[in-house]
Structure 1
Amino acid sequence: MIVRELDINHDWTFGRGKANYLTGSAAIRQCIKTKLFSLKNNWFLNKDDGIAWFNYLEKNPDTIQLEREIKTAILSVEGVNEIIHFTILLDSITRIFLVQVTYNDKYNNLNEVEYYVDSH
């Protein structure tokens, strides 16, 4: 797998030739982060792709369904073998989530991804 590297603002990087691309575990990690950043119904070519984050930022969200949705998205990324550890930390007052995932990829590397979600 080869993907164009994203910068800290999640924009494509340019100007370094082949150094602007990621392969192996780094490419898989970026694809997972991109899945987590994707909003359901946001891409006209595939309205089912992404996660319906705003549905879970309401009062008393269904965290079991959210966990299912996130795990399904992560496991759909090419190269992800299994999820080793998964945690959702929820502040019910501010409605902010922190999702922490540890997974094993096809290169037998253990990797971690964190994703912070708020309603702002």
Structure 2
Amino acid sequence: MIVSALDKNSDWSFGRGRQNYITGGGAIAQKVKCRIRSFKNDNPLNMGDNIDWVYLLSEKNTEQEILREIERVTLATDGVMRIVQLAMVVNKTTREQGIEMRIETVFDEQTINFPISGALKDGTTV
């Protein structure tokens, strides 16, 4: 699998030719992260794909449902063999949430960590 690499701001990186592409387990991990961040009904070719974040983040006590949806989307990603570890870290005081996941791909084992709080400290949305 070959995908265009994302920079630290989750934007596509350009200007370095083939060095802007990643392969192997890193590519699969990036694809999983992008699919988890994608909203349900955003892809006209597959409306049921991805996660209904609007509903899940607007309701109370949906942690287990969020984890099930993340598991469903992750295991449906090409190249993912299994989920080794999946956890949600919740800070109820600041209302920040984060996903910590370790997956086994056809190439190697990858760790994925990212916030799902809706906004980062610098004001950008997730």
| Aligned residue in 2 for 1:82 | 82
| Aligned residue in 1 for 2:106 | 106
> Structure 1 vs Structure 2: percent identity of aligned residues?
32
Gaps in structure 2 of 5+ consecutive residues = 120-126
Give the 4+ runs in structure 1 shifted more than 6 A: none
Whole-angstrom distance in 1 between the partners of 2:50 and 2:91? 22
3-state SS, counterpart of residue 64 of structure 1: helix
TM-score, normalised to structure 2, is 0.83
The alpha carbon displacement at 1:45 in A equals 3.1
Query: 2:26–2:110: 8 Å Cα contact kept in structure 1?
Result: no
After superposition, the C-alpha distances for 1:75-104 in whole angstroms (9 at most, x for unaligned) are 111111110111012234543221110111
Whole-angstrom distance in 2 between the partners of 1:26 and 1:10? 14
**2:34 maps to 1:28:** no
Structure 1 vs Structure 2 CA RMSD:
1.7
3-state SS, counterpart of residue 12 of structure 1: coil
Report how many residues are paired: 119
Whole-angstrom distance in 2 between the partners of 1:42 and 1:95? 26
Query: 2:80–2:103: 8 Å Cα contact kept in structure 1?
Result: yes
Whole-angstrom distance in 1 between the partners of 2:37 and 2:58? 18
| Aligned residue in 1 for 2:19 | 19
Gaps in structure 1 of 5+ consecutive residues = none
Whole-angstrom distance in 2 between the partners of 1:26 and 1:66? 24
Whole-angstrom distance in 2 between the partners of 1:45 and 1:96? 32
Moved more, 24-33 or 47-56: 47-56
| Aligned residue in 1 for 2:115 | 116
TM-score, normalised to structure 1, is 0.86
Q: What residue identity is the alignment partner of 1:118?
A: S
